[in-house]
Amino acid sequence: MSSQRQFANIIKKLEKSVEQAISKTALKNVGVFARDLVVKRTRLGYGVKNDLEAKSRLAKLSPNYIKKRKMFDGLSSNTSPSRSNLTLTGQMLDSIISETKDRTIIIKPTGRRDDGKLNADIARYAEEGGRNRPKRIFLRISQLEFKQIVRFYRKTFGDLLRKKKVI
Amino acid sequence: MIQAKGITVATKWQKIKIDLSGYGLNSDQKDEVADLIIERIVNRTDQGKDKEGKRFPGYSKSYKESLDFKVAGKKGRPVDLQLSGDMLAALEVLDKTSRSVTVGFERGSEENAKADGNIRGTYGKPTPDPKKARDFLGITETELSKIIKFVKAQE
């Protein structure tokens, strides 16, 4: 499984919602907005199992792992020992970027961490889970995030910009 | 119903019915008006104002110091009722008749419960606190007139 997510279907759906083709500049801005939504939602402790479904709480951390986190000096200020939000040092979520290629937005973790591991591998490890480790799927867009993206597009580039005087 | 710390709290279905009779709007225009009413409510809330244009009460000290508040990158002002942004995104047209449109939240949804907490000032507690209430769900006559005038001018 790839640790990067391509959102071509989201763009198609967005274009259908706003009934117009989206320009390259708009696509780039939509990508950054979508990236920020994914990172914020994950930091708040929620994942999304499939695109355009409802978000749900990420699986809880095990008591043993919470103990380890309590002892860990480099714990990010964006988490707490017991909070399940895919944040230990914070490097993986911080590394996530959005790229646009053709008619697709790609949201992906990038680069290498302080410990030499790839952020993409850390994300894949979280999403795939393991024998005693639940899947924590987060690189998706929820239904309500999609609605936020539609609104962002309409407000920034689309018809709502033209209607600014009344709303 | 929502549950918090062993207390079961009844939530109210949050919706508003807006009378559009007498304006001579066709079906498409009513759709457009409903869409713009939602956008007006969201925009006004973005600016930290309630349905009467008054500023929302400030966030509590404990909420401002919470981890959620920090990780969402929020600041004390404006009070825009957005943490994930999902509550306002869930605002939708619930019903349309020949005389009216109803906008609000899906009955029994998590977002309706959040909206209800804000609108009545319950925030998971059994008793509403009007001082803490942030009633964003509504539209003034002036706002509605402006929207209808705009939609009719597009004819």
> What values do phi and psi take at A99, rounded to 5?
-125, 150
In a domain? residue A64 = no
Tell me what the mean pLDDT of segment B29-50 comes to.
96
- Out of B67, B73, B89, name the one closest to residue A147 (CB): B89
Tell me what the mean pLDDT of segment A140-157 comes to.
95
CA-based end-to-end distance of chain A = 44
In a domain? residue A73 = no
Which chain A residues contact residue B67 at CB under 8 A? 78-80, 83
Task: Test A43 with B72 for CB contact under 8 angstroms.
Answer: yes
Per-state percent for chain A, helix, strand, coil, to nearest 5: 45, 10, 45
Task: Test A144 with B89 for CB contact under 8 angstroms.
Answer: yes
Tell me what the mean pLDDT of segment A33-60 comes to.
97
Per the structure, the complete domain to which residue A50 belongs is given by 5-58+91-162
Q: Determine what percent of chain B is predicted with pLDDT higher than 90.
A: 88
The pLDDT assigned to A6 comes to 87
Q: Is the pLDDT of residue A15 over 80?
A: yes
Q: What is the mean pLDDT of chain A?
A: 94
Helix (H) or strand (E) holding B63: helix B61-64
Helix (H) or strand (E) holding A145: helix A143-156
Least confident of A152-166, B2-16, B136-150: B2-16
**Which residue would you say has higher pLDDT here, B109 or A166?**
B109
Q: Is the pLDDT of residue B4 over 60?
A: no
- Distance CA(B65)–CA(B43), nearest Å, equals 26
What confidence tier does A164 reach under pLDDT thresholds 50, 70, 90?
A: confident
Task: Test B86 with A43 for CB contact under 8 angstroms.
Answer: no
For chain A, say whether B85 makes contact (Cβ under 8 Å): yes
For chain B, say whether A57 makes contact (Cβ under 8 Å): no
- Angle, vertex CA B25, rays to CA B23 and CA B30, nearest 5: 115
- What's the gap in Å between the CA of A144 and the closest CA on chain B? 6
Task: Test B86 with A83 for CB contact under 8 angstroms.
Answer: no
The pLDDT assigned to A92 comes to 98
The pLDDT assigned to B5 comes to 52
Residue A7 burial (CB count, 10 A): 24
Segment A69-121, tens digit of pLDDT: 999 999 999 999 999 999 999 999 999 999 999 889 999 999 999 999 999 99
Q: Is the pLDDT of residue B135 over 70?
A: yes
Number of domains making up chain A = 1
Number of domains making up chain B = 1
* Of the candidates A133, A144, A148, A136, the residue with the CA atom closest to the CA atom of residue A58: A136
In this structure, are residues A110 and A96 in contact, taking their beta carbons and an 8 Å threshold? yes
- Angle, vertex CA B120, rays to CA B114 and CA B121, nearest 5: 80
Largest CA distance in chain B: 55
- Out of B36, B43, B72, name the one closest to residue A40 (CB): B72
Task: Test A144 with B85 for CB contact under 8 angstroms.
Answer: yes
Task: Name, in order, each residue with C-beta under 8 angstroms of A30's C-beta and a sequence gap of 6 or more.
Answer: A11, A14, A22, A105, A149, A152, A153
ipTM metric: 0.91
Which chain A residues contact residue B43 at CB under 8 A? 167
Task: Test B86 with A144 for CB contact under 8 angstroms.
Answer: yes
- Which class for A135: exposed (0-12), middle (13-18), buried (19 or more C-beta within 10 A)? middle
> What values do phi and psi take at B143, rounded to 5?
-60, -45
8-state DSSP, A75:
-
Which residue type is seen at A105? I
Task: Name, in order, each residue with C-beta under 8 angstroms of A26's C-beta and a sequence gap of 6 or more.
Answer: A153, A156, A157
- Is this structure's pTM higher than 0.95? no
Tell me what the mean pLDDT of segment B25-29 comes to.
95
For chain A, say whether B84 makes contact (Cβ under 8 Å): yes
Task: Test A145 with B89 for CB contact under 8 angstroms.
Answer: yes
In a domain? residue A69 = no
Task: Test A77 with B146 for CB contact under 8 angstroms.
Answer: no
Per the structure, the complete domain to which residue B92 belongs is given by 2-153
The pLDDT assigned to B7 comes to 53
